[in-house]
Amino acid sequence: MIGYPNKKSIPVSHQVRDNYMGRGMSLEDDLNKSNEYYLEIERAVIHKKPIPVQIVRVDYPQRSAAKIVEAYYKTPSTTDYNGIYRGKAIDFEAKETKSKTSFPLSNIHPHQIKHLMRVLKHGGIGFVIIRFCAYDETYLVDAQYMIQRYQQNESKSIPYAELKDNGFLIKRGFTPRLHYLDVVDQCYFKEEA
């Protein structure tokens, strides 16, 4: 929605497209590469889930791969990433924002918040990874905090300064590009460190 403050009627599909294909790309790419690395060194098994798509029509041309010719994006019912780390279920959503001042809560779907609540309830580790593109800073924000802020109906966004205080900055690197499991160690495995 950023950059389109007066276009309230922008169709849902275009919002979804933005989230999937535009803004999210580079953080997504960093996370995928980091997860590949963590998989390789056997530190964790964490994957991005495929984009949920409703397939309507498929062609089967002779001697070549089945071709999907009509399909639509579906609203995700869970977060994008999950897996296992140090014996615990890990579950998180990742979002970028171009805003310099705040993270718009509309970036997260209500069912994703509900899903994170369930993750915590059933004993998993849940969080949201938020990147402020303007500062090239990426934060891990605990799900509990995110859920609370989401449920405060009056607020439509979380100020940058507040996220800086309540989130945990993720160190960038070459391999992995985002040392996010170090932050997970720090936040969720303190007593064992």
Q: Hey, what are 138's tokens? A: 């990426």
CA 165, 83, 36, 20 torsion: positive or negative?
negative
Least separation in angstroms between residue 61's CB and a second copy is 9
Cβ-based nearer residue to a second copy, 73 or 162: 73
Residue among 146, 54, 153, 48 nearest 90 (CA)? 48
Binding site for a second copy (CB under 8 A): 11-14, 16-17, 39, 42, 44-45, 47, 49-53, 55, 58, 60, 63-74, 77-78, 82-89, 91, 115, 118-119, 121-124
Q: How far is the CB of 69 from a second copy (least distance, A)?
A: 6
Closest distance of CB 159 from a second copy, Å: 31
* Angle at the Cα of 13 from the Cα atoms of 9 and 19, rounded to 5 degrees: 105
Between 63 and 154, CB nearer to a second copy: 63
Reference 137, options 109, 93, 167; nearest CA is: 167
Nearest CB to a second copy, comparing residues 21 and 134: 21
